[in-house]
Amino acid sequence: MSRTKQFRIAIRNRPGAVAEIARTLGNAKINILALLGTAQGTAGTVQFVVEDSGRAKKALDEAKISYEEMPAEQFELPNKAGTLAEYLENLAARSVSLNSIYATAHTDGKSVTVVYSVEAEGAAAAAAVTKAATAR
C-alpha cells in the first residue's frame, strides 16, 4: 500500500472534456496511472492519479483547469475472484466509508491496482486493513 495524491476535476459532460485533461497532462509529459470518469446529465467528474503530482498541479494551473487534490490509497491485490470483496469487507468491518474506488488489472493478469479515498476519520482504519492484507 502506498499513499498517493488523487486529483478530482468537475467537468461538463461533452465530447472531448476528458481528452482536454489528458492532453494537458500528456503535453507536460505526465503519465496518468489510474483514471475514473463519471457523468450524470450535463455534469461529470474525472478522478486520476499521476506519476508526478507536483508537475501535474503546475500543468493544470497553467491550463487554468480547476481541480481538487486529495489523499488516496493505492495498493495491489492478487487478481483472484473474491480477493477484492474480502479486502472491502475488512474495511467495512472497521466502519470505513469509501468516497471513491477504482481498479485496473495489470497486463500480466496476475495482480490488480486499486485506488480509493476515504473520509479523514476512516484513513487510519483503512491503513490497518491494507497493511494486514499486503502482509499475506
Spell out, as residue ranges, where the chain has pLDDT lower than 50: 122
Say which DSSP state 100 is in. E
Q: What is the pLDDT of residue 130?
A: 54
Name residues whose C-beta falls within 8 Å of residue 18's C-beta, 6 or more positions apart in sequence.
Answer: 11, 37, 46
- Max Cα distance, the chain (Å): 44
9-35 per-position pLDDT tens digit: 999 999 999 999 999 999 999 999 999
> What are the chain's domains?
2-70 (3.30.2130.10), 71-134 (3.30.70.260)
Predicted TM-score (pTM) of this structure: 0.79
Place of cell 499521476: 50
